[in-house]
Amino acid sequence: MRRVALALALVLAALSMANGRAQSTPPALTILSAEGRRALPLTVINNQDYVAVDELASPFGTAAREAAGGLTITAGGRTIIVTADQTVVSVAGRLVPLPSPALRRDNRWFVPVDFLPRALSLALDRRLDLRRPSRLLVTGDLRVPRVATRVEGGTASTSVTFEIMPVTPARVSTEAGRIVIQFEADALDLAVPTLPPQAFVSAISPADTGASVIIATGPRYGAYRSSSSQPDASSSRLTVELLPAATDLAAAAAAAAPPADPVRPSVTLMPATGLRTIVIDPGHGGEELGAQGPRGTLEKDITLAVSRRLRTLIESRLGLRVFLTREDDRTISHDDRSAFANSHQADVFLSIHANAAVRPGIRGAEVYYLSVERADAEARRRAEDTAITLPALGGGTRTIDLILWETAQARYLEQSSTLASLVEAGLRARVEMSPRAVQQAPFRVLVGANMPAALVEIGYLSNPEQEQQLATSAYQERVAEALYDALTKFRGLLDRSAP
């Protein structure tokens, strides 16, 4: 990832492709409420998900009327003022920015889908939680845990691990050759990897109704064993191990003692520390390939491989919680990556990339942290592009200053700078560095991160020799060790500064 404009273009390209795919079934959000599920149609405009304002009347009891070149929406007794082509709305006098402008098309008004959690939720004084990856809008007090699924296996057995946030009890049972995991929840915000059929697992999918996940078993499956733990106060973990038909479960249990797999430490190994949860972000993925080497090596594959190695090192040696923003080859937006880190209450966010340059001679690793000055300048420039003039209630207009809310990273700049220096030192001891080893840049993926955050470019895929290196497990392991080293030292600093 080099320039914001390029990164943005890639995201837009990826989104347009995703939308192209989605055209066979019209896109919709599923509203989950105490009354049940209902679909809210989405309209894709300029590659963004929009909602028609008239569609909000039935599920949310809103009323809208046009006035003074704008639209006034009444919701929950409060007034929302929307102006065509503006990226800010007023909710009971409070200004709420939106990621893309409200639009008037064919006599209908459209607002970006973020209008729901940001503006409508405020007016209704009701929780509207947008779970973008699963296209859910969770309202009120419903229990809809996020469940991330990981599959690890070999020839002897396969483990399916569910990371569940917040802590949610689950029951495992078998039913017609399938393993059913029933969660005590109203619905699930579920992420499952798409995998080719394997010896023990042929597919993992959500049940058609309720809050269950079904593991369809493969030809070698004979028995299962499940265990659960609570890595910390905010999440639980359930592991279902699928074993061959001939397994004597008692013998297997005895052989497995002590129960903690050394690669997956149990809760007792969790240290008390200021650094407990790490989110690693494998750059790019899915339709978004990232940089590409002359021999065809793809950045998205390298970043995932290094991220997985790093997770294994951290989990096996430190016993900290590690989440990857993607477990497999899928497209995720920059905002969803930092949102993932925020919702997992990560203490550190590390985004991993490989670089490309026009000149093939350029090489070496680089580390970045956010430049707020430049991010602000960019935001101001964007704000100037669209002067913010709102119709005032009672007629007339007023011009307002756009107040940025997306500066979560600003307060962590000092820690992020320290983190970047430690990452640089770790890398410098093991791999070749670029002459400009630590830099500041307004990377979109870092802006919304509510914790110390850095982005590392682990080498240049555009350099033929580096492309070859980057694809080797030896180089990937050196990078993982370097990042592990940096995170260990960073944890040490946090511990010392803790009260």
Can you tell me the distance from the alpha carbon of 407 to that of 171, in angstroms, rounded to the nearest whole number? 41
| CA dihedral over 164, 165, 171, 174, signed as positive or negative | negative
Count of helix runs (H) and strand runs (E) in the chain: 12, 30
Interface positions with Zn ion (CB under 5 A): 1, 283, 290, 353
Please name the residues in contact with 377: beta carbons below 8 A apart, sequence gap of 6 or more. Answer: none
Closest distance to Zn ion from the beta carbon of 299 (Å) = 5
- Taking the least distance from each CB to Zn ion, the nearer of 237 and 353 is 353
Can you tell me the distance from the alpha carbon of 23 to that of 213, in angstroms, rounded to the nearest whole number? 27
Torsion of CA 146, 341, 462, 474, to 10 degrees: -80
Which residue type occupies 322? V
- Taking the least distance from each CB to Zn ion, the nearer of 1 and 190 is 1
Closest distance to Zn ion from the beta carbon of 10 (Å) = 8
- Taking the least distance from each CB to Zn ion, the nearer of 243 and 302 is 302
- Taking the least distance from each CB to Zn ion, the nearer of 344 and 353 is 353
Closest distance to Zn ion from the beta carbon of 337 (Å) = 12
Instruction: List b or e across 265-293, with b for residues whose CB sees 16 or more CB atoms inside 10 angstroms.
Output: bbeeebeeeebbbbbbbbbbbebbbbbbb
- Taking the least distance from each CB to Zn ion, the nearer of 231 and 283 is 283
Cβ count within 10 A of residue 177: 8
Closest distance to Zn ion from the beta carbon of 335 (Å) = 16
How far separated are the first and last CA of the chain, in Å rounded? 38
Closest distance to Zn ion from the beta carbon of 6 (Å) = 9
- Taking the least distance from each CB to Zn ion, the nearer of 138 and 470 is 470
- Taking the least distance from each CB to Zn ion, the nearer of 1 and 160 is 1
Which residue type occupies 159? S
Kind of pairing between the strands at 146-153 and 189-191: parallel
Closest distance to Zn ion from the beta carbon of 462 (Å) = 12
Kind of pairing between the strands at 201-206 and 88-91: unpaired
- Taking 3-state DSSP, the helix, strand and coil percentages for the chain, each rounded to the nearest 5, stand at 30, 35, 35
Nearest position to Zn ion, beta carbon: 1
Closest distance to Zn ion from the beta carbon of 375 (Å) = 18
- Taking the least distance from each CB to Zn ion, the nearer of 265 and 283 is 283
Can you tell me the distance from the alpha carbon of 133 to that of 189, in angstroms, rounded to the nearest whole number? 9
Closest distance to Zn ion from the beta carbon of 481 (Å) = 21
Q: With contact defined as beta carbons under 8 Å apart, do 139 and 31 qualify?
A: yes
Closest distance to Zn ion from the beta carbon of 354 (Å) = 7
Q: With contact defined as beta carbons under 8 Å apart, do 145 and 235 qualify?
A: no
198 burial via Cβ count (<10 Å: 0-12, 13-18, 19+)? middle
Q: With contact defined as beta carbons under 8 Å apart, do 76 and 70 qualify?
A: no
Closest distance to Zn ion from the beta carbon of 7 (Å) = 7
Can you tell me the distance from the alpha carbon of 481 to that of 460, in angstroms, rounded to the nearest whole number? 19
- Taking the least distance from each CB to Zn ion, the nearer of 3 and 108 is 3
Closest distance to Zn ion from the beta carbon of 455 (Å) = 8
Q: Give the closest residue to 406 by CA, choosing from 444, 349, 454.
A: 444
- Taking the least distance from each CB to Zn ion, the nearer of 131 and 353 is 353
- Taking the least distance from each CB to Zn ion, the nearer of 27 and 283 is 283
Q: Give the closest residue to 71 by CA, choosing from 85, 50, 60.
A: 85
> Which two structure tokens, joined as six digits, stand for 204?
């993992």
- Taking the least distance from each CB to Zn ion, the nearer of 353 and 444 is 353
| CA dihedral over 355, 359, 360, 365, signed as positive or negative | negative
Phi, psi for residue 464 in degrees, rounded to 5: -55, -40
Closest distance to Zn ion from the beta carbon of 434 (Å) = 14
Can you tell me the distance from the alpha carbon of 75 to that of 126, in angstroms, rounded to the nearest whole number? 11
